[in-house]
C-alpha cells in the first residue's frame, strides 16, 4: 500500500512535469484544409515503407513481407525478397533509394531477419537492385545480434544525409535495461554506415573497446521516424516512448538520448520507470508527446504545394490515427495540427519528387494529398 | 442452523476455488502475462482497457467473453474490419502476431482471467491447434 502511494505521488509529479511543456503540446484541428486526400493505392494492410522510382512508379513494403511495385495504376509483386521474421512488430519495414539511384540502382531495405544462430530475429539492413520485377545483387549490410523472440522494437527507418552516409535505426528489442545504454550491444541505437556497408573511420565509437562501431547515437527506445532536415542537412528522428514520452530528437554524433534512465513516459501499467526526465550528459528531446501519439513516418515539407506548410514536419500517429503537422521555429515546435483524422493508423508519410505528400494508412493504402486550387 | 452450515460450506468451497486454482492454468496465465506485455499492451493497454473507438477493450469485453473461437482465430491469423465491443463499433486491423499455438493459448488464458474477466474453462494447446483459417 505504501508503495502504491509513492507510485501515485511519482505519477502525479511526472504528469505535472510532463504538462509543463505548455500549450504548444495541444493539437489543433484546422478549419481550412489545403488538400483533398485521394486514395492512390488501395487494398493494403500495413504499408510500412514507400519509395519513388524515377519513372514515376512506387515501391511499397507490406509489413507481412510483400514488396509491391505500383506502376501505371497496377500492383505487381516483386520476387526474391529476403526472408522476413514476421512476429510482433517485426516484418518488412522501410525501403529507401540510394541518392544516386539513377546511376547505381541500389535500393535499401530494413526488415526483421532470422539470420544467425539464436532463435528469434533482429533488424537487418540490406541493399539490392531491381531487375525484371525481382531483387538481384542482394547484399546484407548490417544485421543486429543476438536474435531474440521478443516481438518489440525493431525500429526501423533508413535515411541518407547530404554526404551520402547511410543512417538507420534499431529499437531496443524489448530489452530496455540491457540494450540501449550498452555500446557493445545492438538495439536502441541509430547507426551510420557508408552506402556499401563499410563503417566510417570517424564514427564515434570506433576506438571504444568492444563497441559496435556502426553506432552513431544511443539511448533510443524505438525510432520509427528518421529524416534529413532540408536546410541544416542534419538527421532528425522520432521515437516511441512507453506510455507518454514519445520524442523528437536531432541526432548528434556519439550522443546519448537517455532511455531508459531519463524519460517523459511511464510504464503501461502506470508505474514509473524513473523519476528523472533529464541527466547530465544526456540529450533532451526538442519535443515530446504526452500522451503518446505513437509516431511512425516523418517528413519535412520542402515544396510550395501547400500554402504555409514549407519547412513543417509531418508525422504519422498510430494510436490516435491522424497525420500531425508540426510548425517549427528553428528546432522549437510552435504549433501542432491534426489532419486526416479517423481514416486509420498512419504508418508513414513521404514527400514525393513531385512535391506532393503521400500518406500510408493501415487497412487502407497510400493517399496522395492533392492541393486545393 | 442448517442454513448457516450451508452458507459456511458454500463460502469455503468458493474460496477454495479462488485460492487453489488449477496450477496448470496459473502457469499458463503467468506465461500469458509476459506475452501480453510484449505483443498486446501497446494497443490494448495495461489494464486491458484499450483505446475507445480505436482499439477495443479486453477487460470486461462482451466480444472476448462470448466469442472464444473467433478471439483465438483473430490472434492466430490477424483480423480486419468491423467489430462491436461493449456497444462501440471498431474498424481496425490487428496484424497476425507470429505467436506459436502454445503462446496463443497462454495469452488467451491471461486475458480471459484478468481485469475482472474470468473463465472456468482453460484454453488448451489442442484447442488453438484445431482452429484454422
Angle at A159 between CA A154 and CA A162, to 5 degrees: 155
- Nearest by CB to residue B95, choosing from A46, A243, A319, is A46
Given this model, what pLDDT does residue B8 score? 78
Domain A2-371 in CATH 2.60.40.10? The answer is no
Inside any domain, residue B11 = no
Please state the domain count of chain B: 1
Q: Which chain B residue lies closest to A175 (C-alpha atoms)?
A: B38
Q: Residue B42: pLDDT above 80? A: yes
- Nearest by CB to residue A45, choosing from B47, B93, B99, is B93
H-run or E-run covering A370:
strand A365-371
B46 contacts in chain A (CB < 8 Å): 243, 267-270
What rounded mean pLDDT belongs to chain B?
90
Given this model, what pLDDT does residue A269 score? 86
Q: Outline where DSSP puts E strands in B1-131.
A: 79-85, 88-94
Cβ separation of A45 and B95 shorter than 8 Å?
yes
* Stretch among A96-100, A146-150, B17-21, B48-52 having the lowest mean pLDDT: B17-21
Question: Which residues, in sequence order, are CB contacts of B15 under 8 Å at separation 6+?
Answer: none
Give the span between the Cα atoms of A197 and A191, in whole angstroms: 11
Range of the domain at B113: 22-129
Q: Residue A71: pLDDT above 90? A: yes
pLDDT, average across residues A131-156: 97
Inside any domain, residue B102 = yes
Cβ separation of A46 and B93 shorter than 8 Å?
yes
Given this model, what pLDDT does residue A82 score? 96
Higher pLDDT, B92 or A54: A54
Residue A310: all three cell numbers together: 514549407
Inside any domain, residue B2 = no
A46 at the B interface (CB within 8 A)? Answer: yes
Higher pLDDT, A9 or A360: A360
Interface list for A 238-257 with B (CB within 8 A) = 243
Cβ separation of B46 and A63 shorter than 8 Å?
no
* pLDDT tens digits along A235-264: 999 999 999 999 999 999 999 999 999 999
Q: Which chain B residue lies closest to A345 (C-alpha atoms)?
A: B92
Q: Which chain B residue lies closest to A244 (C-alpha atoms)?
A: B42
Residue B27, domain CATH: 1.10.760.10
User: Could you give the 3-state DSSP secondary structure of residue A263?
Assistant: coil
> Half-sphere exposure of B2 toward its Cβ, with a 13 Å CA cutoff?
0
Q: Residue B18: pLDDT above 90? A: no
pLDDT, average across residues A82-106: 97
* pLDDT tens digits along B72-90: 999 999 998 899 999 999 9
Inside any domain, residue B14 = no
pLDDT, average across residues B42-56: 92
Q: Which chain A residue lies closest to B52 (C-alpha atoms)?
A: A320
Given this model, what pLDDT does residue A288 score? 97
Inside any domain, residue B9 = no
Given this model, what pLDDT does residue A235 score? 98
A111 contacts in chain B (CB < 8 Å): none
Residue A176: all three cell numbers together: 530496455
- Nearest by CB to residue B38, choosing from A88, A269, A270, is A88
Inside any domain, residue B3 = no
Q: What are phi and psi of A118, to 5 degrees?
A: -75, 160
Give the span between the Cα atoms of A169 and A240, in whole angstroms: 12
What rounded mean pLDDT belongs to chain A?
94
Residue to mutate among A42, A62, A63, A151, with most B CBs inside 10 A, is A151
* pLDDT tens digits along A178-234: 999 999 999 999 999 999 999 999 999 999 999 999 999 999 999 999 999 999 999
pLDDT confidence tier of residue B92, bands split at 50, 70 and 90: confident
- Nearest by CB to residue A86, choosing from B39, B47, B98, is B98
> How long a stretch of residues is chain A?
373
pLDDT confidence tier of residue B6, bands split at 50, 70 and 90: confident
Given this model, what pLDDT does residue A20 score? 44
* pLDDT tens digits along A1-28: 456 665 655 555 454 444 445 444 689 9
Inside any domain, residue B13 = no
Q: What is the pTM of this model?
A: 0.88
Residue to mutate among A148, A265, A319, with most B CBs inside 10 A, is A319
Question: Which residues, in sequence order, are CB contacts of A348 under 8 Å at separation 6+?
Answer: A47, A48, A49, A50, A296, A297, A316, A359, A360
Give the span between the Cα atoms of A174 and A179, in whole angstroms: 9
pLDDT, average across residues A68-86: 97
Cβ separation of A294 and B42 shorter than 8 Å?
yes
Residue to mutate among B43, B78, B95, with most A CBs inside 10 A, is B95
Cβ separation of B43 and A344 shorter than 8 Å?
no
Cβ separation of A151 and B96 shorter than 8 Å?
no
Catalytic positions of A? 153
Give the span between the Cα atoms of A123 and A347, in whole angstroms: 18
Residue A319: all three cell numbers together: 494510436
Give the span between the Cα atoms of A127 and A1, in whole angstroms: 55
Q: Residue B20: pLDDT above 80? A: no
Given this model, what pLDDT does residue A18 score? 47
Higher pLDDT, A11 or B118: B118
Given this model, what pLDDT does residue A248 score? 98
In angstroms, what separates the C-alpha of A43 from chain B's closest C-alpha?
Answer: 12
Given this model, what pLDDT does residue B3 score? 78
Amino acid at each position: 500500500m505504501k508503495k502504491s502511494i509513492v507510485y501515485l505521488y511519482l505519477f502525479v509529479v511526472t504528469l505535472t512535469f510532463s504538462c509543463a511543456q505548455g500549450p504548444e503540446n495541444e493539437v489543433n484541428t484546422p478549419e481550412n484544409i489545403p488538400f483533398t486526400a485521394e486514395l492512390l493505392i488501395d487494398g493494403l494492410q500495413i504499408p510500412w515503407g514507400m519509395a519513388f522510382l524515377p519513372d514515376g512508379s512506387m515501391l511499397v513494403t507490406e509489413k507481412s513481407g510483400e514488396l509491391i511495385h505500383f506502376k501505371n495504376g497496377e500492383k505487381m509483386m516483386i520476387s526474391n525478397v529476403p526472408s522476413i521474421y514476421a512476429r510482433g512488430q517485426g516484418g518488412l519495414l522501410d525501403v529507401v533509394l540510394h541518392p544516386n539511384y539513377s546511376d547505381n540502382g541500389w535500393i535499401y531495405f530494413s526488415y526483421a531477419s532470422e539470420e544467425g544462430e539464436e532463435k528469434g530475429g533482429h533488424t537487418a539492413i540490406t541493399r539490392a537492385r531491381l531487375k525484371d520485377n525481382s531483387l538481384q545483387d542482394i547484399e546484407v549490410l548490417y544485421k543486429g545480434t543476438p536474435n531474440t523472440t521478443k516481438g518489440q522494437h525493431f525500429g526501423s527507418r533508413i535515411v541518407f544525409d547530404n554526404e551520402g552516409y547511410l543512417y538507420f535505426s534499431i529499437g531496443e528489442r524489448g530489452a530496455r535495461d540491457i540494450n540501449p545504454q550498452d555500446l557493445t550491444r545492438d538495439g536502441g541505437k541509430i547507426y551510420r554506415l557508408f552506402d556499401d556497408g563499410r563503417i566510417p573511420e570517424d564514427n564515434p565509437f570506433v576506438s571504444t573497446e568492444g563497441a559496435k562501431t556502426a553506432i552513431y547515437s544511443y539511448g533510443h527506445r524505438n525510432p520509427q521516424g528518421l529524416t534529413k532536415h532540408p536546410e541544416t542537412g542534419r538527421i532528425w528522428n522520432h521515437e516511441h516512448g512507453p506510455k507518454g514520452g514519445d520524442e523528437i530528437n536531432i541526432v548528434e554524433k556519439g550522443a546519448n538520448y537517455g532511455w531508459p534512465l531519463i524519460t517523459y513516459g511511464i510504464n503501461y501499467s502506470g508505474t514509473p520507470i524513473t523519476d528523472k526526465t533529464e541527466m547530465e550528459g544526456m540529450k533532451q528531446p526538442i519535443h515530446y508527446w504526452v500522451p503518446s501519439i505513437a509516431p511512425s513516418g516523418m517528413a519535412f515539407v520542402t515544396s510550395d504545394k501547400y500554402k504555409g506548410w514549407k519547412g513543417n514536419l509531418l508525422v504519422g500517429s498510430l494510436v490516435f490515427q491522424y497525420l500531425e503537422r508540426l510548425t517549427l521555429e528553428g528546432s522549437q515546435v510552435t504549433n501542432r495540427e491534426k489532419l486526416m483524422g479517423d481514416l486509420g493508423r498512419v504508418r508513414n508519410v513521404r514527400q514525393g519528387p513531385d512535391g506532393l505528400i503521400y500518406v500510408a494508412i493501415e487497412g487502407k493504402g497510400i493517399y496522395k494529398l492533392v492541393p486545393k486550387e | 442452523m442448517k442454513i448457516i452450515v450451508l452458507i459456511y460450506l458454500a463460502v469455503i468451497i468458493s474460496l477454495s476455488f479462488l485460492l487453489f486454482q488449477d496450477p496448470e492454468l496459473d502457469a499458463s496465465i503467468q506465461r500469458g502475462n509476459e506475452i501480453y506485455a510484449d505483443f498486446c499492451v501497446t494497443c490494448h493497454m495495461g489494464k486491458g482497457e484499450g483505446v475507445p473507438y480505436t482499439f477495443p477493450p479486453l477487460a470486461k469485453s462482451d466480444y472476448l467473453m462470448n466469442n472464444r473461437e473467433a478471439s483465438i482465430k483473430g490472434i492466430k491469423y490477424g483480423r480486419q474490419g468491423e467489430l462491436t465491443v461493449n456497444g462501440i463499433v471498431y474498424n481496425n486491423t490487428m496484424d497476425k502476431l507470429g505467436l506459436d499455438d502454445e503462446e496463443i493459448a497462454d495469452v488467451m488464458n491471461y486475458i480471459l482471467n484478468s481485469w475482472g474477466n474470468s473463465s472456468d474453462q482453460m484454453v488448451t494447446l489442442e484447442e488453438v491447434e484445431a482452429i484454422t483459417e
